[in-house]
Amino acid sequence: MKKVLISLSAIVLVAAVAIGATVAFFSDTETSTGNTFTAGAIDLTVDSQQHYNGHECVPNLDTATSENMPYVWGPGRNPYPVTGTACGGTWRLKDLVPTFDKFFNFGDIKPGDEGENTISLHVINNDAWVCAEVSNLSSDDNGLNEPEALVDESDGVGNGELDDTMLWTIWRDDGDNIRQENEPILASGHPVNGVLPIYDSTTTGTPLPGGSMTFLGVSWTLPAESGNETQTDSLTGDISFRVEQARNNENFRCVPVQEPTGDI
Ligand SMILES: [Ca+2]
Ligand SMILES: [Ca+2]
Ligand SMILES: [Ca+2]
Ligand SMILES: [Ca+2]
């Protein structure tokens, strides 16, 4: 019986060899598995460091928790703002929450006040062009109080005087919050709506390198010589930063050149 089994196995084996022999063509295989196109990242993150009348808005490490990082005014010579009271306008690197993260949020400025934000823009992974934009500026009176009414006849939305009184300077900072003479001014004067090229083909000519950061200093003042016409006025607006890939996009401009629209 055992002998029979062995001989059957031999037959099967022979049969298998015989079948194999009939399909033994020359062959070869090359394999590449897991092919992928992954789009690169162009991701902007922003941090801000605020100063007001010589005080810096700093993290309050005494009361910080893992979820919450409160900020308070640090020490300074000027009695206002009061050291240790809450402040905004400073945060660590992050994506901005549009209605929450305000670079400027002051409720009681007065002639002679001045401040500065150092804003750093970080582009992740890839070279990118960088533009800033101020939009939706609204300069409002919020009513005319008695001393204001003596010098300001125009009340209402759009009739405020802060936009024509406040002065701003925006410069390319090295991160020390102070403008040195060799640091170029990008914009100065009264606040206005507009697009400000930070890195484009018309300014630097080269993009912000991927994985690096750039600093902007933004200083402001309500000049001491301004008067009662700005009492209770407000100036509100939006500030946004935009990055766009530099590869295959070497002629990028923050402000598009208007194409001729033909005969008028
Ligand atoms: Ca982002
Ligand atoms: Ca007015
Ligand atoms: Ca500087
Ligand atoms: Ca006014």
Residues with CB under 5 A from ligand 4 (ion): 141, 152, 161, 229, 233
Q: What is the pLDDT along the chain (264 residues), one digit of tens a residue?
A: 455 545 545 544 444 455 555 667 887 887 777 766 667 778 999 999 999 999 999 999 888 887 788 999 999 999 999 999 999 999 999 999 988 899 999 999 999 999 999 999 999 889 999 999 999 999 999 999 999 999 999 999 999 999 999 999 999 999 999 999 999 999 999 999 999 999 999 998 999 999 999 999 999 999 999 999 999 999 999 999 999 999 999 999 998 766 666 554
Report how far ligand 1's centroid is from the alpha carbon of 214 (Å). 15
In a domain, 80, yes or no: no
Domain that holds residue 174: 42-54+95-101+109-245
In a domain, 35, yes or no: no
Cα 200 to the chain's mean position, in Å? 16
In a domain, 159, yes or no: yes
Report how far ligand 1's centroid is from the alpha carbon of 41 (Å). 10
In a domain, 166, yes or no: yes
- The count of domains in the chain is 1
pLDDT at 69: 81
The amino acid that residue 125 corresponds to is N
In a domain, 252, yes or no: no
Flag whether the pTM goes above 0.75: yes
pLDDT at 26: 82
> Counting ligands in written order, which one lies closest to the CA of residue 180?
3
In a domain, 72, yes or no: no
Residues with CB under 5 A from ligand 3 (ion): 173-174, 176, 178, 180
In a domain, 230, yes or no: yes
In a domain, 184, yes or no: yes
pLDDT at 259: 63
> Counting ligands in written order, which one lies closest to the CA of residue 118?
3
Report how far ligand 2's centroid is from the alpha carbon of 27 (Å). 87
Report how far ligand 3's centroid is from the alpha carbon of 115 (Å). 15
Distance CA(117)–CA(169), nearest Å, equals 11
